[in-house]
């Protein structure tokens, strides 16, 4: 009788700390009105990658999809306005690799049975930190996560980083040029480092 040599498979944990530690994460600071153009430039590097972009609203999904298609990127928006059959067709196309950029909302994302996701692009950060980790968990251990962070998103980012007890690496997109904002006035107030904000919050909660 031969000895059994099979070793048990390593269990994958889906708590927020485990998900955060095993996922390569990065953020890009950008003003809200520049998120569309930054996404187009950023995704040029991921044209052969299975990407899911998560946005807050159907309107944003449609606007971003139209822009990416105009840049000849293989993108499709799927949200609550689409019939179940359309959602299934998009899922099949994504899983077969004939569609590589799918734009959706958190509500629809959790209902789609997507496979082999290699990049989660958080176009918008969620209001609830756990929803951010839920996005990453769909990749298991396969891919990376990128978030676009506007000034309004920064408190949400602080909550996410505070919960997982680490800062997400900040990157600068080469070749990206921010557009001007009408009636924009510069503030002289120095921005507090993210790690300092996290520490301040922790001290208040003690």
Average confidence score pLDDT of the chain: 85
Q: Note whether 73 and 103 are within 8 A (CB).
A: no
Identify the structural domains of the chain with CATH numbers, from first to last. Answer: 16-175+191-205 (3.40.50.300)
pLDDT in tens, 81-124: 999 999 999 999 999 999 999 999 999 999 999 999 999 999 99
Q: How does residue 190 score in pLDDT terms, banded at 50, 70 and 90?
A: very low
Q: What is the mean pLDDT of residues 132-140?
A: 86
68 half-sphere exposure, CB direction, 13 A CA radius = 28
Query: What's the confidence (pLDDT) of residue 185?
Result: 42
pLDDT in tens, 26-49: 999 999 999 999 999 999 999 889
Counted residue by residue, the chain has a size of 206
Query: What's the confidence (pLDDT) of residue 180?
Result: 80
Query: What's the confidence (pLDDT) of residue 137?
Result: 86
Query: What's the confidence (pLDDT) of residue 139?
Result: 84
**Coil, strand or helix: which one is 122?**
strand
pLDDT in tens, 51-80: 999 999 999 999 999 999 999 999 999 998
Identify the CA nearest to 149 among candidates 53, 44, 32.
Answer: 32
Q: What is the mean pLDDT of residues 134-142?
A: 81
Write the DSSP string, 164-194. Answer: HTSPPEE---TT--PPP-TT-----SPPPPH
User: What proportion of the chain, given as a percentage, has pLDDT over 70?
Assistant: 78
CA distance 123 to 33: 12
């Amino acid at each position: 009788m031969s000895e059994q040599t099979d070793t048990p498979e390593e269990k994958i944990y889906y708590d927020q700390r485990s998900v955060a530690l095993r996922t390569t994460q990065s953020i890009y600071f950008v003003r809200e009105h520049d998120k569309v153009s930054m996404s187009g430039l950023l995704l040029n590097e991921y044209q052969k990658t299975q990407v899911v972009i998560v946005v807050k609203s159907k309107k944003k999904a449609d606007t971003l999809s139209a822009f990416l298609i105009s840049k000849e990127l293989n993108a499709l928006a799927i949200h609550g306005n689409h019939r179940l059959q359309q959602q299934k067709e998009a899922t099949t196309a994504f899983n077969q690799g004939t569609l590589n950029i799918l734009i959706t909302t958190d509500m629809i994302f959790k209902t789609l049975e997507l496979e082999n996701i290699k990049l989660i692009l958080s176009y918008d950060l969620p209001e609830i930190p756990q929803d951010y980790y839920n996005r990453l968990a769909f990749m298991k251990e396969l891919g990376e996560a990128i978030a676009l962070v506007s000034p309004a998103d920064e408190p949400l980012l602080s909550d996410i980083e505070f919960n997982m007890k680490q800062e997400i690496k900040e990157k600068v997109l080469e070749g990206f040029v921010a557009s001007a904002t009408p009636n924009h006035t510069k503030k002289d107030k120095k921005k507090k480092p993210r790690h300092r904000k996290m520490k301040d919050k922790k001290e208040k909660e003690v």
